[in-house]
Each structure stands twice: as structure tokens, then as C-alpha cells.
Amino acid sequence: MILTVASGKGGTGKTLVATSLALSLKDKSTIQLIDCDVEEPNAHVFLKPVFTERESVCVPVPSVDEEKCTHCGKCSEVCAYNAIAAMKHKVLVFPELCHGCGACSYLCPEDAITEVGKEVGVVETGHADGIQFAHGKLNVGEAMAPPVIRRVKEYINHEGTVIIDVSPGTSCPVVESIRGSDYCILVTEPTPFGLNDLILAVEVLRKLDIPCGVVLNRTGVGDNKVEKYCQKEEIPILLTIPLDTRIAGYYSRGISLVEGIPQWRGRFLDLYNKVKNMAGSRVGQ
Ligand code: SF4
Ligand code: SF4
């Protein structure tokens, strides 16, 4: 089963839930945690994995042979991202805008364009006390998260339970990370911002046809509008985590919730069982 942990906005406690779930399950079955929050991966801070492999992620960008180029302009006409500009005497390439689609080299009538690999990030894999671990890291200044996400997802071990930590929001990297999962846990908080971003995230999941449930973090502040929304939309609230300075204190020191307060382990196991029952029909369990 592939289980994603996402949130419409940052800072809701998504990684706290993903890592606590992985740690609660590690003695029960094969568990893998994949951190797809490639712009700011931080699950490793809590799981402290030993990394055994590191791999570069590259995208193909064009390189123009000026000897062959006739400056016909076809490459810049075809590029949807303005990543290549044919000037009168020179072709300029803007690698940071290039999506590596290959259209320019395919259509160049002079065969003047070859593709060269440009590193946009890395994938690191290893293990953390029985948990298989992989994360992607986008290079500083790079905007192309999806290729790194796709590469790290190639490490998914379909033999066990996979927990994917997704970047916050509802943009392309989030869709890329969630695509193909059996269930999505949405972590939010009981505030107007939390509700607004939850609604957006639910819309995305419904378009992707992936069932979801909610973990409500920091209850005791805000209002009950998230609960009312979930009730109206028939979205289960799987777990509530109260606002507690002890939890925040452990989190700030890189200690997961279930290690700081072991009584939470049972609640995360309950959460997993609920999800397993709801996702079971999709994964044939
Ligand atoms: S399509 Fe090829 S020949 Fe035409 S401008 Fe671009 S690189 Fe030069
Ligand atoms: S590979 Fe695609 S995105 Fe990159 S410059 Fe060529 S046409 Fe544009």
C-alpha cells in the first residue's frame, strides 16, 4: 500500500505524522519512508537514516553546435518555456527554464542540437532502524522538482507499506508525489487558513481519484469549521493531535512524536488500521 501524507499548507505537522507513522509500524511490517518534499526534505532529521547510496538526477538540456546552426529559429518557435532563443548570429540556451522535453533537438532541421545532462538534484537512499528510507534533494536555485520526485519514487518498494511525505501546497510537485498512491492523509489545523488550504487539497485529490482522510493537528486553538467541512464532505477525521508544548519541544529538537511520547504509538497504529481498511479495496487486501 502506498500512503501519502500531504497538507495544503506548510507547517501543519505533515512530517511529524509521516515519521511517527513509520516508526509506529516498523516492527509490524516492511516499512519504507520516501521523502518527496524535495525542496525542503526533513524526514531524515527525525529518522536519522544511514545513507548507503547517492545518485545524481539530471535533465537533458540542449547544446547547440554553432557550426551547424543556420539560425532558422525553429527551436525557439517550438519551445513552450522560452528556454532557447535563436538570435541572428547566435542561439542562447537558458538551462534554468528548460524542461528537458527534447522538442528543439527533435525538430532542428540541421541536427545542430544535442542534449547534455544537467544535474538538478540528488536522491539518497539508506535505512533507519529497520525503516527503508529514500529522499530527493533539489539543488539550490533549481525550480524543476518533478524530475527529482519521479526519480525518488522509482525506489518505491511495492512489497511493503510505503509512506510518502509530500511537499506542502497543491502545485505540480504535490500532484507528482501523490499520483499513484492508494490513500492520502491530509494534515491540517483548525484555523481559517487550514480550512482554506484543506479545501484546495481535497479538490486535487478528488480529481486524481485518491481517497483521503484528515489528521487535525493542534486542536484546542481556532474553531470547528474544519470538522464541519469534513462532516459535510464525508471526509473522515482519522486522528486529532492537541496543541501541546511538549510535542512542539520534541519536534524542535528533531525527536518524533512517538519517540518523545511513546503512548502515541498506539494511536498511530489505530490511524494506520483505519487507513488500511479504507484503502483495502483499492489495493486488493
Ligand atoms: S533549429 Fe537548429 S538550426 Fe535552427 S536556429 Fe535552432 S539550433 Fe539553429
Ligand atoms: S528541451 Fe524543450 S524546454 Fe528545453 S529548450 Fe528544448 S524545447 Fe525548450
Instruction: Give the three cell numbers for residue 285.
Output: 487486501
Contact between 79 and 70 under an 8 Å Cβ cutoff? The reply is no
- The string of pLDDT tens digits covering residues 116-139 is 999 999 999 999 989 999 999 999
Query: Residue 178 — pLDDT band, cuts 50, 70, 90?
Result: very high
Ligand 2 site, CB within 6 A: 62, 78-79, 81, 83-84, 98-104
Res 285: pLDDT: 45
Please name every residue paired with 219 in a beta bridge, in sequence order, or none if there are none.
221, 242
Rounded to two decimals, the pTM is 0.89
Query: Crossing angle of helices 225-233/192-208, nearest 10°?
Result: 20
Please work out whether the CB of residue 113 comes within 6 Å of at least one atom of ligand 1: yes
Res 144: pLDDT: 84
Please work out whether the CB of residue 110 comes within 6 Å of at least one atom of ligand 1: yes
From CA 160, how far away is CA 117, in angstroms rounded?
A: 33
Q: Does the structure show a pLDDT above 70 at 281?
A: no
Q: Does the structure show a pLDDT above 70 at 61?
A: yes
- Atom of ligand 1 minimally distant from the CA of 64: 7
217-254: b (≥16 Cβ within 10 Å) or e: bbbeebeeebbebbeeeebeebbebeeeeebeebbeee
Give me ligand 1 centre to Cα 144, in Å: 25
Q: Does the structure show a pLDDT above 90 at 55?
A: yes
Q: Does the structure show a pLDDT above 90 at 172?
A: no
Say if strands 113-128 and 161-165 run parallel, antiparallel, or are unpaired: unpaired
Res 222: pLDDT: 79
Mean pLDDT computed over 56-75: 95
Res 96: pLDDT: 86
Q: Describe the strand order of the beta sheet including 131-138 as a list of residue ranges.
A: 50-64, 113-128, 131-138, 31-35, 161-165, 2-6, 183-188, 212-219, 237-242
